[in-house]
Structure 1
């Protein structure tokens, strides 16, 4: 399987994040991608290729123009305000306040375009996120040209980013951008399967009123876990998208038998949907030793996951999302990809 990777991901290199009431060392850091890359090279999974540049048209189908302008120009505005440390928002337009337009002040804009305080913006965030979008679209190019699957080794991750806000370590929604890439290449319907421990609230929000993208997510019950305010089973889509959003919240402590039952049901929905391509939001934080997650999948379970995903029978773009247990992250990622490839034949 071919992997698309750019060293520019490391330009987003946050040092701290706000967690449990304290500034602590960031867990979403460049080492994540490098550990996965090293494992790919170690086992000889396939070639590792640089992404090709893509114009902004597909990104603009996913994200609003003002949000993209904010991200691209943020660091210059931050420095112009006399700031040079990593940026964290601290005020948000919650219900009861107005979100009618972005404030002029940089602190107001930070809150306007975000939904949490745990995702620092840095000098290189835009460059890394923009190259991540190219990475995702390059996997679509590979798959659309005839490969059964390809892997986008991109960071920062993307599935928490919505059309006009960031959070959950995510700034551009790479999976959503990949889905738009498949549609632009002629697919009439695309499925996105999110297997990250956390719900892909951004992806759901982007596609919830559309019938051309089926979004299916397996994740920790949002009553107990981030992002808390989206991801419940009764969220099934709106308007033309009714029935095209499928959430499968799972209990804290979920193990492989329970997880695999849900995954099997998710794949039934995908096979019945008429999708012509599959985007997998490949979060690996369902692992038993992940430092910020509470499922109990073991490394060998990711092999079984890969084989099950191959059973969808669809051209597949794998997009890297979460996974923070760095010692095993590369093993778990390659277990999914290698067993998918073997099962797909």
Structure 2
């Protein structure tokens, strides 16, 4: 069997956030173009076909995101740069608080706070292009699966798991995995979305929390003392018709392979009970033991086993790249997961 197809966009490198806030300090942003470049190099060496995607238009993205939010992302940087003395990138500095979020601001300062839930996703001159290209990769991956490919990997950068239909944050602007899941619904009645990133996929949960046609499952470091702090707890099970279609499996700090794979078994059992017709994987590899996020302690072999267990579900699958911030480990983690999914050893 040939290695699965890999979709990428050269425009990802246009998104170059210089700094971000961490613990009250401006520090170097970890979402560097080298993240994707290193993955591409490894997957090319591993025999994957590297393909660019045709443009599918805005409709698949607009099926998830609000028009207000898309307009904000498209115009934010240009409007921000009109402010005398403004920073190079868009950084929100005011946020609506509970009970004070009924109006919609006209100024870019207010809109930035309205549409971003933290200061971890600065918007630069080329962020919009990179974000829509990443989402388009997810759409193309879903298209190929709809047309009969068993599994396709989309090297999405920026990531997407923390993006809601009207709000970004955590290095995310458009929710690539959610957009893929929504697009798969054109041909599959029931879709499961599983997130294995070290952080809870709060945006993905928000997209599908009140729906019963997409099951969302997330394995992540317990948010009681970890980003995103306000979502990802086990008691969050969905609302309305979505009650019971949301499963969070928070793990203690620095949990390793055994704990992660035990939680993954629970996740796969729930996906099988859901009788999903297709699968989307939010493939973050920042749960690796050497990642600077320092949340969990999954090994290279652990990621290979994660890929193999997801493949055992036997479902048509889209894999969309999420986190992973150690430039020396990210490529091997991704290549190993894809190799595990395909039942072979990675050579890169």
With structure 1 as the length reference, what TM-score do the two structures score? Answer: 0.97
C-alpha distance in 2, partners of 1:294/1:75? 32
Is the 1:152–1:320 Cα contact (8 Å) retained in structure 2? yes
| Alignment-derived partner of residue 147 in structure 1 | 149
| Alignment-derived partner of residue 114 in structure 2 | 112
C-alpha distance in 2, partners of 1:256/1:342? 18
Is the 2:73–2:128 Cα contact (8 Å) retained in structure 1? yes
Aligned length: 340
Partner of 1:219, secondary structure, is strand
Structure 1 residues 38-97: Cα deviation after superposition (integer angstroms, max 9, x where no partner): 0001121x210001111222211211110000001112211222335112111111114x
Is the 2:64–2:207 Cα contact (8 Å) retained in structure 1? yes
Tell me which of 33, 39, 42 is aligned to 1:39. 42
| Alignment-derived partner of residue 304 in structure 1 | 305
Structure 1 residues 321-345: Cα deviation after superposition (integer angstroms, max 9, x where no partner): 00111101100101000120127xx
| Alignment-derived partner of residue 65 in structure 2 | 63
C-alpha distance in 1, partners of 2:245/2:195? 14
Is the 2:20–2:27 Cα contact (8 Å) retained in structure 1? yes
| Alignment-derived partner of residue 95 in structure 1 | 98
C-alpha distance in 1, partners of 2:134/2:103? 28
Alignment RMSD, CA only?
1.1
The unaligned stretches of length 5 or more in structure 2 are: none
| Aligned 1:164-179 pairs, distance under 5 A | 164-179=166-181
Superposed structure 1 runs of 4+ greater than 6 Å apart: none
| Aligned 1:283-322 pairs, distance under 5 A | 283-322=284-323
Partner of 1:332, secondary structure, is helix
Is the 2:81–2:88 Cα contact (8 Å) retained in structure 1? no
Structure 1 residues 151-209: Cα deviation after superposition (integer angstroms, max 9, x where no partner): 0001000000001111000000000000011012x211100000000000000011000
2:20 maps to 1:17: yes
Is the 1:81–1:106 Cα contact (8 Å) retained in structure 2? no
| Alignment-derived partner of residue 2 in structure 1 | 5
